[in-house]
Structure 1
Amino acid sequence: MSLDKLLEQLESCQHAPTEKWDPPYCGEIPLCIKANGDWEYQNSKIERPRLVKLFASVLVREQQDYYLVTPAEKVKIQVEDAPFIVTEWRQLEVAGQPAIEVATNIGERYILSARTPLVVEKGVPYVCLPRGMTAKVHRNVYYQWAELAQHAPNNEFVIHSAGQAFTLGQA
């Protein structure tokens, strides 16, 4: 299987066609995605994973704001940091190249690549996801990657995936 084919399969998760809808803005609702990845409604954690996945399927980012968009309405929600967390990862080989597959807290899977790169902002690693979304890398995953990282000539620690080198931080 080619890398592009695998990327397409992984990225074709069940996201609603929100780009085709233009509903009226209906205000803000008391839904917040906490920095630890928990979704809360009126300060109570949403315990049903299927409900979180449903909300995630209609989550849209516009500049720095986040909205839930349906054909009938668009409501603003709060996101403390990133809407998703990278909770798992594994190494695999795709088309003869080593690759890192990451999984988010809602079960979506992506390959670290030029299309879904790892970036570090203010010392915190994130994976850039489709539709302008981000997933913060959980501390456990970061420490596991740190053990694999190679020291690059520019005094950075890097990991490699899908033919790309991604910086974890400075040496």
Structure 2
Amino acid sequence: MTTTASQNGLNAIISQIKDKKHPPVHLWNPDFCGDLDMKIARDGTWYYLGSPIGRKPLVKLFSGVIRLDDDGKYYLVTPVEKIGITVEDAPFVAVEMFREGSGEDQVLSFRTHVDDFVIVDESHPLRLAINAENNEPSPYVRVRSNLEALIARPVFYDLVELCEEQEIDGEKRFGVWSSGSFFDFGSVDDIFE
């Protein structure tokens, strides 16, 4: 669901982002302790030993210490251990979108299923991946470091309503503005063929 944020709403989101401190997992280099039978499904549900983890505070705790390393694998990291987990798609799901302003002055932000907030800008870009097998789009927003959130389908539909055409290097491109940057989802001809 898209929410048009008032200035107070955007300020509240900025405040929450500033106040939320995640552990500095990027600074920790403990020994690898093996893989754990823990999985994050594409819909954001966390599983342990095949059963969903129903306690949201526990999921939030784990989500604060997740890291994607250069080997392409996800780990839960503490100062003393590094444990491999499985992530089907992205570790987060963006479940709500907020909008302040319009056009080139528009600022978009998202809330994830673990209540992280992110403002879309050059450090937290949007991207669109197209599945080669079924041509289905998968939209993402970078939440922190190199961790992304898959944008939930209903929220993606709201995002698409905000998209516009922009001519870039003589080609019509389809995308959306946020924080003064245009996030290009692809050629108009390719998207609407």
TM-score for the superposition, normalised by structure 1: 0.87
Q: What is the letter of the counterpart of residue 167 of structure 1?
A: D
Q: List runs of 5+ in structure 2 lacking aligned partners.
A: 1-6, 131-136, 189-193
Q: List runs of 5+ in structure 1 lacking aligned partners.
A: none
Query: 2:37 matched to 1:30?
Result: yes
**8 Å contact kept, 2:105–2:177:** no
Within 5 Å, give how 1:1-171 maps onto structure 2.
10=17, 13-63=20-70, 64-93=72-101, 97-122=105-130, 123-153=137-167, 154-171=171-188
Assess, with a 3 A threshold, how the Cα gap between structure 1 residues 33 and 70 changes in structure 2: closer, same or farther.
same
Please list the CA deviations of residues 52-102 of structure 1 after superposition, one character each: whole Å capped at 9, or x if unmatched. Answer: 010011111102101111122111000010000111011125xx9420111
Which stretch shifts more, 78-87 or 159-168? 159-168
Query: Which SS does the other structure have where 2:63 is aligned?
Result: helix
Q: CA deviation at 1:152?
A: 2.1
**Count of matched residue positions in the alignment of Structure 1 and Structure 2:** 166
Query: Which SS does the other structure have where 1:152 is aligned?
Result: strand
